[in-house]
Amino acid sequence: MVTELAPLSPDLDHFALFGFDRKLVLDSAALDAAFLRLSRECHPDRYAVAEPEIRAVAERNSARVNDAKRVLSDPVRRAEYVLELAGVERPDGEAKCPPDLLMEVFELREKLMEDPGPELVERVLSLFADVEEKLDGLFSRHDAAADDPSRLEALRGIRETLDRRKFLMNLTREVEGTLGKP
């Protein structure tokens, strides 16, 4: 029976916990492998007959691993997390729809009311694909950055693009709500 169990260090961020560098492009097989290794170590099943204090530590450690896995395995949440770690904030504090997108959204909404057809779905999907592509490029730029200033620049771009993505998501939902799922 286990008589001692240390809490995972609170100083480790999600990447460090999994033994990874702070990169935005992650190999999902490596992530899964690291997750399983940590889970086998931390899972409360291993400590079920131990003292209550040890069981409590195991629950918390395991939750930590699972929480980290949830963030790391989703590219968007992963990016948001890195922005948070790097302390990158929006210029004026809150997410705002970029002006060009605002125009676009405005027009699309109007069309949606008048003539909701399949071209509309196409249009939204292509806007969405653009954003995803841009994000991928920025992720790679971030990971390849040679110094802090260029990394920070990539992160600022990511901040803006993620917000753009969010507004588009809402629009997609609206279109789906009117037209049914494409």
Q: CB of residue 104 vs another protein: minimum separation in angstroms? A: 27
Measured from the CB atom, the residue of 10 and 149 that comes closer to another protein is 10
SS (H, E, C) 88-122: CCCCCCCCCCCHHHHHHHHHHHHHHHHCCCHHHHH
Say how many residues touch another protein, by CB under 8 A.
18
10 CA to centre of own chain: 21
Of the ranges 45-53, 79-87, 94-102, 140-148, which one interacts with another protein (CB under 8 A)? 45-53
Q: CB of residue 50 vs another protein: minimum separation in angstroms? A: 10
> In Å, what is the CA distance from 62 to each residue of 36, 41, 43, 96?
11, 9, 5, 37
Measured from the CB atom, the residue of 71 and 82 that comes closer to another protein is 71
The yes or no reply on residue 39 touching another protein (CB under 8 A) is yes
- Burial class of residue 174 (count of CB atoms within 10 Å of its CB; 0-12, 13-18, 19+): middle
Q: CB of residue 101 vs another protein: minimum separation in angstroms? A: 26
Measured from the CB atom, the residue of 58 and 138 that comes closer to another protein is 58
Interaction mask 113-152, another protein, x per CB under 8 A: ----------------------------------------
Q: CB of residue 89 vs another protein: minimum separation in angstroms? A: 17
Contacts of another protein in 58-117 (CB under 8 A): 59-60, 62-64, 66-67, 69-70
Closest CA to 96 of 154, 156, 157, 160: 160
Q: Which residues bind to another protein, rule: CB under 8 A?
A: 1, 36, 39-40, 43-45, 48-49, 59-60, 62-64, 66-67, 69-70
